[in-house]
Structure 1
Amino acid sequence: MRRTPSRRLLAAALLVASVLAPMATMPATAAPSTGITRHDQDDVPRHGLGPEITERLDRAIAEVREQAGIPGVVVGLWMPGKGSYVRATGVADTVTREPMAVDSYVRIGSETKTFTVTALLELVDQGRIGLDDPIAKYVKGVPDGHRITLRQLAGMRSGLFPYTADADFTHDLLSAPERHFAPREVLRYGFRHPNTFGPGQDFQYSNSNLVLLGLVIEKVTGRKLADVIHERVLRPAGLHHTLFPQGNEFPEPHPRGYTDQTLSGEVEDVTNWNPSWAWAAGAMISNLHDLRRWAKIVATGELLSPETQAQRLRTLPTGYPGTTYGLGILETNGWIGHNGSIPGYETVTVYLPSQKATLVIMLNTDVMSEGQEPSTLLARAVTAIVTPDNVYDGSAATRP
């Protein structure tokens, strides 16, 4: 049965997936390869987790890859006092069979939200905005904007209709996936629908929320969002391999990305799609080295005041068991961070404070397997082995 793309298109990430129609998976790929290069010596495990755990992890990852038809994956796990595990397996290109590499750049989808909200919260710390300010103070024309607060936008509780769920948006994007979309242009697709509930009444994952917060940051700073994130988030965090692209530029090396979110419903190579439609909600690019650093920084609030970080981590129920959501950040069974999904790529970047452990997963497909995101399947399999009392269970929520 062919799946209609508009049923789940482009949510660019998070929380427990809805069960969707069955789909064909991509063919199995080549045998695992570590893919470690001289540029990744900081990521190479000097002290592994031991042969038994390593073998179990290798086997579990291989099983998920085969089950879900994942071309290539990079997994990084760091557990202070116990050791680490870094592997690149499978292929970066299903045509050339080039192996997946540890130093790959990937599109990180909704992990972008952690960067956007961090920039927003820095403005809170500076006293330039208030979390309980209405969005109408900064952006005109938002349905019920005089009642929707910045806090509700960051916490996915605004009730604004997700523009990615609009059928015309889906058609327009898939008809010309390399075109540029402006922030206010994508918002118009969502604003023509009634709000789904009153401000603060419920949880609904919506990229409309984050696009609005990006506009707030630009309004208050007088600068482009990409520049603000670079100067106020990436530079202080020491993230030299993370960027906010202006178009479809993509640093090398990067794997090819594969999705079935296409007009035909067939799996296609979408590496060069323009992520501008996701903007503040999902357009960024990073690599394993930087995501490892970022996991701890965002979870512990290194760039924010303790008071503001405490507000960020005040998570509320999502309606999905085991997963709560704060201000641009999720918590699932003790793991704090975010995941990302954008056509062709998925990521998970999370930190477990109780063990000071970090998990990063990057893969080059977003094709779902039996209604679940492949990144969630991998994260669940890995954490079931290394942190059985804290099994990751967050995945993409509403993919319209």
Structure 2
Amino acid sequence: MSSGTTARARVTALSALLASSLLLVPLAGTAAAGPAQASPASPAVSAPRADGFDATALERALAEVPDGDVSAALIRVGGKGSWAGSAGVRDLRTGAPALPYARFRAGSTTKVVTAAVVLQLVAEKRVALDAPVTRYLPDLLPPSFTEPPTVRHLLTYTSGLHPGASLGSTTEEMYAHRFETLTPEEVVAASVAQGPAYTPGERQTYGNIHYTVLGMLIEKVTGDTYEHQAAVRIFRPLGMRHTGFPCGPDPRVHGPHNRAYADIGGRTTDVTEWNMSDRWAAGDMISTTADLERLVFGLFGGKVVPRPLLDQMLTVPDVDGATFGMALQRFVVDGREVWGKTGSRPGYHTVLGATRDLSRTVVYSVNAKSARDDGFPLVARFALPAFAS
């Protein structure tokens, strides 16, 4: 698999994007208006105007921030009415209050954007869902792949690919390599060199590798960078003005943001600066809660992909134990079907979720040392009350 041309093209296009301020470069002032900053002891909460959810539970959760795990929390609830709240600190050293409109590492919620771009290409008949990925990336797989996965298999995490190369499996292991670069081509090469893990479509195995390959497919089909395609197809049309990707291996979060922390060697350590480029189309996006809310409403409202393809996106494959459609995972909360996606990076935990009819949506960003642990306690605390009857 040749990586030089793609890598050079990505760097060239990223430089052009940086010059045109499409990526996350420092802001001149604060472009996004936000609620007044609140002290950590007094969470900023909008007047509850949404019916049918447990605002009291969310207010209680915010009132407990900061604590020994969570340093900041930003929540937006939408649908039939709206509600928003924030609490915590921007920086543990200074104790400055958390910024409600802060940018953050959105982790695997990036996959929702990647899936949407691929489905737009399907709608344009430039990609076929049930075509083998080798139609678009002919040099991707070695001969050991006698049955190549299809585009649909990649979208639904059923491709049979092994995980790719990584810089560690735990936050502590990765921390030592946080400024190193692992290209998507290197990640994928390490995966396919192992041969297939199982027959495509046989089981569902969540992982970044499926969406890293999809990012490469997008670049091959469009002759453009993944980052630019995400910007022109998703971010700009939806007004997501504060969402984008770092410029290659840039480890910084530019613009207003709250610091992130993790336990490294038993010590609370600032992990805000981190090169996440190896996550790329699977998890390198930086966003805001307001922008992710725009993504949720645009996607479920049929403004991003045609509704017939949205129906396929929100269909779980007929595989034992499967819970994901394309990018998004299906849950049932108090009898309601909810589709959502989490994102976990060191120090950052993100959630976006919605009912299919958009009667209820939730987006949150939580700066937590436990962000890469089992995320359910954070989801239960800061997201599920939005769907409680």
TM-score (norm 1): 0.76
Counterpart in the other structure of 1:344? 347
Sort the Cα spacing of 1:109 and 1:99 in 2 relative to 1 into closer, same or farther, 3 A. Answer: same
Q: Report how many aligned residue pairs link the two structures.
A: 341
In 2, are the aligned partners of 1:299 and 1:336 still within 8 Å (CA)? no
| 8 A contact 1:48–1:54 mirrored in 2 | no
Superposed displacement of residue 49, structure 1: 4.8
Deviation at 1:196, TM superposition (A): 2.7
CA distance 1:166–1:240, change in 2 (3 Å): closer
Mark the runs of 5 or more structure 2 residues left unpaired by the alignment. Answer: 1-38
Contact kept in structure 2, 1:134 and 1:145, CA below 8 Å: no
Q: Distance in 2 between the 1:355 and 1:170 partners?
A: 35
1:258/1:344 contact within 8 Å kept: yes
Per the alignment, residue 130 of structure 1 pairs with 128
SS in 1 for 2:70: coil
Indicate the SS of the match to 1:316. Answer: coil
Match of 1:31 in 2: 41
Match of 2:110 among 109, 112, 130: 112
Q: Is the 8 A contact 1:157 1:203 kept in 2?
A: yes
Asked if 1:327 corresponds to 2:326, the answer is yes
**2:65 touches 2:88 (CA, 8 Å); kept in 1?**
no
What RMSD in Å do the two structures reach over aligned CA positions? 3.0
1:248 counterpart (239, 248, 251): 251
**Does the 8 A contact of 1:116 with 1:213 survive in 2?**
yes
Residues 361 and 375 of structure 1 are in contact (CA less than 8 Å); yes or no, is this contact kept in structure 2? no
d(CA) in 1 for partners of 2:160, 2:369: 26
- 8 Å Cα contact 1:349/1:361 also seen in 2: yes
Matched, 1:71 2:71: yes
Question: Greater relative contact order (Cα 8 A, min sep 6): structure 1 or 2?
Answer: 1
**Any conservation in 2 of the 1:345–1:363 contact (CA below 8 Å)?**
yes
Give how far 1:349 is off: 0.9
State the SS of the aligned residue for 1:162: coil
Cα distance change of structure 1 residues 207 and 122 upon mapping to structure 2, 3 Å threshold: same
Instruction: Supply the distance in 1 between the matched residues of 2:340 and 2:192 (Cα, whole angstroms).
Output: 29
Contact 1:257 1:345 in 2 (8 A): yes
Deviation at residue 325 of structure 1 after TM alignment? 1.0
Is the alpha carbon distance of 1:93 and 1:169 closer, same or farther for their aligned partners in structure 2, counting shifts above 3 Å? closer
Per the TM alignment, residue 31 of structure 1 is displaced from its structure 2 partner at its CA by 2.4
Q: Report the 3-state secondary structure (helix = DSSP H, G, I; strand = E; otherwise coil) of the residue aligned with 2:77.
A: strand
Q: Trace 1:102-251 onto structure 2 (pairs within 5 A).
A: 102-139=100-137, 140-142=139-141, 144=145, 146-163=147-164, 173-246=174-247, 247-251=250-254
Task: Tell me if 1:258 matches 2:258.
Answer: no
Distance 2:192 2:169 in 1: 13
Instruction: Tell me if structure 1 keeps the 8 A contact 2:208–2:279.
Output: yes
SS at match of 1:277: coil
1:299 and 2:296 matched: no
Tell me the TM-score normalized by structure 2. 0.78
Does the C-alpha gap of structure 1 residues 146 and 381 become closer, same or farther in structure 2, counting only changes over 3 Å?
Answer: closer
Q: What is the Cα deviation at residue 188 of structure 1?
A: 2.8
SS of the residue corresponding to residue 117 of structure 1 reads helix
Q: Is the 8 A contact 2:123 2:306 kept in 1?
A: yes
Matches of 1:319 and 1:31, distance apart in 2:
47
8 Å CA contact 1:366, 1:373 repeated in 2: no
Work out the CA distance in 1 between the residues paired with 2:62 and 2:303.
32
Range that drifts further, 347-356 or 84-93: 347-356
CA deviation digits over 1:27-84, x for unaligned, max 9?
xx942432xxxxxxxxx8465359x954443114445864x7211101111241xx43
Hey, what's the Cα distance between the residues in 1 that align with 2:318 and 2:95? 43
Matched residues in 2 for 1:160 and 1:166: separation?
18
For residue 89 of structure 1, report the CA deviation from its aligned partner.
0.7
Equivalent position of 2:360 in the other structure: 357
